[in-house]
Amino acid sequence: MNSVFCLAGIVIKELYRRKDFYVLFVLTAIITLLLGSVNFFHEDKIVRYVKDICLLLIWLSSLVIAVVTTARQIPTERESRTIFPLLAKPVTRGQLVGGKFLGCWLACGIALLVFYLFFAVVVGAKEGRLPLSQYFQVIWMQWWMLAIVIAMVLLGSVLFSAPSANATICFAAILAILILGGHLHRLAAVQPSPLGQALSVLYFLIPHLEWFYAVRERLIFDSALLGWGDCLLAAAYAAAYVGLLLVATWTVFRRKILTV
C-alpha cells in the first residue's frame, strides 16, 4: 500500500510542475472576471449566466486535466524506461495501476478545490452569500465523475500506444455520453430490432456521466439540495465502474510484454 501512495504522490507533484493546470485556471479566471465586471451583474439572470459559464469552464478544465494527465502516465513511463526500475522495486503492475489512478484522482481533487475556491470568492462577493452545502455536493459529484473518467483513460492507456490517440478517443466517448447517454433508452424504444435492443444494452452498460453533470444546475438556479443518501449512492455507482475499469486495466496490463 505504501508503494501505491508513493506513486500517487509522484503523479501529484508531476501535475503541478506542468503548465496545464495553471493555463486553464488563468483562462477560467480571466473569463469569469470579465463576465463578472459587467454593469448589470446585480440582476438575477446575469448572475446565473456568469455562474453557468464559469461552472462550464470548470467542468471542461477538469476534464482536460483528468484526461491529458492520465493519458500520459503509463506511456511516458514506458518511453522513458522508468517503468523497469519501478517494477523491479518490486512494485507490482497492480500497484502501478492503482498508484497512477489514485494520484490522478487526488490531483484532480486538489485542482477542483482551487477552481471552486475562486468561483466561490467571485460569485459570493456578488451574491453576498456562500451556500457551502451546495458547493460541497457539486464538488463531490464532479470528483466522482472524474474518477470514472480517469479509470476509463487509464484503461485506454494500456490499449492504445499513443497518448494523443487515447486522449482523443476518450474525449469523444465522454462527450458522446454527456450529450447522448441520457437519450439512448428513448431512441431504443423507437428503433426496430436488433438495433433497438443493442441501444438498450448500451444504455445500461455505459457509465452515465450526465447524471453527475446535471447537479451543477442546482448551484446555478439555487435549487434544493440532493439527499445525502443520493450522493452516497452516486459515489457507490461511480466506485463500481471505477473498480471494473481498474480490474480491466490490470488484466490487460499484466499480459503486456514490456521490452527495453
Report which DSSP code applies to 89: T
Grid coordinates of 109: 481533487
- Considering just the CA atoms, what is the radius of gyration of the chain in Å? 20
Sign of CA dihedral 202, 213, 144, 26: positive
Query: How many angstroms separate the Cα of 174 from the Cα of each of 95, 126, 132, 149, 238?
Result: 26, 33, 28, 8, 14
Closest CA to 104 of 49, 147, 160: 147
Classify residue 119 as exposed, middle or buried by CB count within 10 Å of its CB (0-12, 13-18, 19+): buried
Q: Regarding predicted confidence, which is higher, 39 or 86?
A: 86
Q: Regarding predicted confidence, which is higher, 72 or 241?
A: 241
Q: Residues 122-176: pLDDT tens digits?
A: 877 777 777 788 888 999 999 999 999 999 999 999 988 788 899 999 999 999 9
Closest CA to 16 of 109, 90, 85, 78: 109
pLDDT bracket for residue 60 (50, 70, 90): very high
* pLDDT value of position 44: 54
Phi, psi of 255 (to 5 degrees): -90, -10
Classify residue 52 as exposed, middle or buried by CB count within 10 Å of its CB (0-12, 13-18, 19+): middle
227 SS3 class: coil
Is-contact 253 95, C-beta < 8 A?
A: no
> What residues have CB less than 8 Å from 38, skipping those under 6 apart?
46
* pLDDT value of position 259: 64
Chain centroid to CA 61: how far? Answer: 9
Q: How far apart are the C-alpha atoms of 96 and 138, rounded to whole Å?
A: 30
144 SS3 class: helix
Omega before 90 within 30 of 0, i.e. cis: yes
* pLDDT value of position 149: 96
Q: Residues 11-43: pLDDT tens digits?
A: 888 877 777 778 888 888 887 777 666 554 455
Q: How far apart are the C-alpha atoms of 222 and 32, rounded to whole Å?
A: 19
Answer whether residue 242 shows pLDDT above 80: yes
* pLDDT value of position 40: 47
Q: Where are the domains positioned within the chain?
A: 2-254
Q: Residues 184-237: pLDDT tens digits?
A: 888 877 888 888 888 888 888 899 999 898 888 888 777 777 888 889 999 999
Q: How far apart are the C-alpha atoms of 183 and 216, rounded to whole Å?
A: 19
Torsion of CA 23, 156, 9, 59, to 10 degrees: 40
Grid coordinates of 81: 524506461
